């Protein structure tokens, strides 16, 4: 009998050892750990983090990052995932904008700490979850978004299940069952786009905790459909009905080629596809043109980005909340042009009401370019028309921080330090957590996280 997709994945999971990791994937994994830890600190005092903490009361021994407490792994994964994804500053993937770090790192660290796992297997579990999440993103392409769901939420549940299965050393049938259960726990709609509410922030944490729950159920003998991915009523039929999934993108060369080694890390604290347009705005800024001399900016964009980042245009030009501003290309470009950055400080309730920013954002609109490479490549294109009649065209050919122009370890460590400082941590405390993340592979067990991370 032909094996199902989940059976193929289970074959891979049960045979994985730390020796299967190649150096590039291990580096990407450690970079991801560092990025997530810093983002958890940055978001530690934010209202959505506090609200999530208030909703979790299960005692346990999994560290809630930067909160001075431990909870059951389910709660810690939910809180840490929500915090890590909360400012939309976490890693992504070219091919489908999934945020693997904010799902996989919180899920894995929570269950690994509870079980006293060593660092080498913890890194393996994180790497495997990242790999499956990215490959599922390649299969889904734009289709999950088109169906109204958030890829990080729904794909992340399967990936976190894989990581938890590796931590707990589930056997083949338990892995298959866990993935089958994960299909019924996956959720996350994108209606947050309507009003800038916080549910997108929750999606990463929910996927993390759902993956832990699915793996636990599978390990306990609870059954799930073996054809959860490819079945007539399976995941892709439900969450991506516009495509016929090509599972070779998920299964071919699995374990020999690590596609997750080409993760992208964001230089700006906003939506992934906005980032190249921010670079265009910053390039225009270098020309020292006063904002009032700009008559109009027209951006050529990929059709698949319009419903999230450009429409309705009037709302995007005047976003209702600081969070909504992160998914507004006109706002992000305008604030970057005026401030010279689009970091955490550019997304506050005061900043989104700045009249100079809003005046410039109102001049920024889009046209769809049918030749745009999205989602295979994230590019930026700006056509500025000035009041004197002159015109300027600028292009950003790729995502800075992505596979074509990656951030260095030094740049990522600087980002970590900046995020920790934003969260109010002193440098000595931040350096201890950074050292933990960078040295995760050699940690004898995860108990050290409570000492440096809480």
CA distance 382 to 362: 15
Q: What 8-state DSSP symbol labels residue 304?
A: G
pTM, two decimals, is 0.94
Q: What 8-state DSSP symbol labels residue 90?
A: S
CA nearest neighbour of 92 among 303, 352, 276:
276
With tokens 């004898």, the residue in question is 444
The pLDDT of 300-322, averaged and rounded, is 95
CA distance 380 to 284: 12
CA distance 374 to 78: 31
pLDDT tier for residue 113 given thresholds of 50, 70 and 90: very high
Contact in structure between 235 and 228 (CB atoms under 8 Å)? yes
C-alpha distances (whole Å) from 1 to each of 4, 7, 10, 236, 245 are 9, 12, 16, 22, 21
Contact in structure between 400 and 279 (CB atoms under 8 Å)? yes
Strand partners, 392: 384
pLDDT at 433 over 80: yes
Question: How many CA within 13 A on the CB side of residue 389?
Answer: 0
> What is the chain's mean pLDDT, rounded?
96
The pLDDT of 398-411, averaged and rounded, is 95
Contact in structure between 125 and 112 (CB atoms under 8 Å)? yes
CA nearest neighbour of 120 among 216, 204, 191, 29:
29
pLDDT tier for residue 321 given thresholds of 50, 70 and 90: very high
| Phi, psi angles (nearest 5°) of residue 298 | -115, 130
Question: How many CA within 13 A on the CB side of residue 377?
Answer: 11
Question: How many CA within 13 A on the CB side of residue 76?
Answer: 32
pLDDT at 1 over 80: no
> What's the maximum distance between 2 C-alpha atoms anywhere in the chain?
72
Please give the pLDDT value at position 369. Answer: 97
The pLDDT of 42-66, averaged and rounded, is 96
CA distance 160 to 81: 11
**What helix, strand, coil percent values describe the chain, rounded to 5?**
55, 10, 35
Read off the pLDDT of residues 162-213 as tens digits, 9 standing for 90 and up. Answer: 999 999 999 999 999 999 999 999 999 999 888 889 999 999 999 999 999 9
With tokens 């900043």, the residue in question is 351
Please give the pLDDT value at position 281. Answer: 98
Please give the pLDDT value at position 376. Answer: 84
| Phi, psi angles (nearest 5°) of residue 388 | -85, 5
CA distance 141 to 135: 10
Please give the pLDDT value at position 251. Answer: 98
Read off the pLDDT of residues 246-266 as tens digits, 9 standing for 90 and up. Answer: 999 999 999 899 999 999 999
SS3 294: strand
- Who contacts 431 (Cβ-Cβ below 8 Å, separation ≥6)? none
CA nearest neighbour of 322 among 279, 354, 298, 299:
354
Please give the pLDDT value at position 262. Answer: 94
With tokens 């905790």, the residue in question is 209
With tokens 């370019």, the residue in question is 369
- Above pLDDT 90, what percent of the chain? 96
Pairing of strands 62-64, 391-396: unpaired
Element (H, E) at 368: strand 364-368
Six-digit token string for 30: 């450690």
321-342: burial string, b at 16+ Cβ within 10 Å, e else: ebbbbbbbbbbbbbbbbbbeeb
Contact in structure between 246 and 20 (CB atoms under 8 Å)? no
Read off the pLDDT of residues 158-167 as tens digits, 9 standing for 90 and up. Answer: 999 999 999 9
CA nearest neighbour of 454 among 32, 70, 38:
70
Put residue 232 in one of left, alpha, beta given phi > 0 → left and psi -120 to 50 → alpha: alpha
Cα dihedral: 179, 181, 184, 189 (round 10): -50
């Amino acid at each position: 009998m032909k094996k199902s997709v989940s059976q193929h994945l289970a074959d891979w999971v049960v045979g994985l050892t730390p020796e299967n990791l190649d150096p590039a994937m291990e580096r990407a994994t450690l970079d991801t750990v560092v990025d997530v830890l810093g983002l958890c600190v940055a978001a530690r005092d934010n209202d959505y983090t506090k609200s999530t903490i208030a909703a979790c009361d299960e005692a346990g021994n999994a560290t809630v990052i930067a909160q001075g407490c431990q909870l059951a792994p389910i709660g810690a994964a939910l809180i840490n995932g929500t915090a890590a994804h909360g400012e939309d500053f976490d890693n992504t993937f070219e091919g489908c904008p999934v945020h693997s770090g904010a799902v996989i790192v919180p899920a894995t660290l929570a269950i690994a700490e509870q079980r006293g796992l060593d660092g080498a297997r913890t890194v393996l579990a994180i790497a495997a979850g990242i790999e499956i999440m990215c490959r599922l993103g390649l299969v889904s392409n734009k289709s999950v978004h088109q169906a109204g769901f958030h890829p990080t939420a729904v794909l992340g549940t399967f990936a976190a299940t894989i990581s938890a299965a590796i931590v707990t050393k589930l056997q083949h049938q338990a892995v298959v069952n866990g993935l089958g259960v994960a299909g019924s726990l996956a959720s996350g709609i994108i209606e947050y786009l309507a009003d800038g509410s916080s549910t997108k922030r929750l999606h990463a944490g929910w996927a993390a905790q759902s993956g832990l729950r699915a793996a636990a159920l599978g390990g306990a003998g609870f059954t799930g459909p073996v054809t959860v991915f490819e079945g007539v009523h399976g995941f892709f039929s439900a969450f991506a009905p516009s495509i016929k999934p090509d599972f070779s993108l998920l299964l071919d060369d699995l374990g020999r080629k690590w596609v997750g080694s080409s993760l992208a890390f964001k230089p700006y604290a906003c939506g992934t596809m906005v980032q190249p347009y921010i670079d265009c705005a910053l390039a225009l800024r270098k020309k020292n043109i006063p904002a009032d001399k700009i008559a109009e900016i027209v951006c050529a964009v990929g059709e698949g980005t319009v419903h999230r980042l450009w429409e309705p245009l009037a709302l995007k030009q005047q976003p209702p909340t600081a969070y909504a501003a992160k998914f507004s290309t006109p706002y992000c470009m305008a604030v970057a042009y005026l401030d010279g950055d689009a970091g955490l400080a550019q997304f506050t309730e005061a900043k989104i009401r700045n009249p100079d920013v809003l005046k410039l954002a109102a001049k920024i609109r889009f046209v769809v370019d049918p030749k745009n490479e999205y989602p295979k490549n994230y590019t930026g294109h700006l056509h500025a028309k000035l009041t004197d009649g002159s015109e300027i065209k600028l292009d950003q050919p790729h995502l800075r921080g992505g596979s074509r122009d990656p951030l260095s370890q030094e740049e990522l460590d600087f980002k970590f330090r900046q995020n920790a400082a934003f969260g109010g941590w002193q440098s000595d405390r931040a350096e201890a957590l950074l050292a933990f993340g960078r040295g995760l592979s050699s940690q004898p067990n995860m108990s050290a996280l409570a000492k440096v991370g809480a």
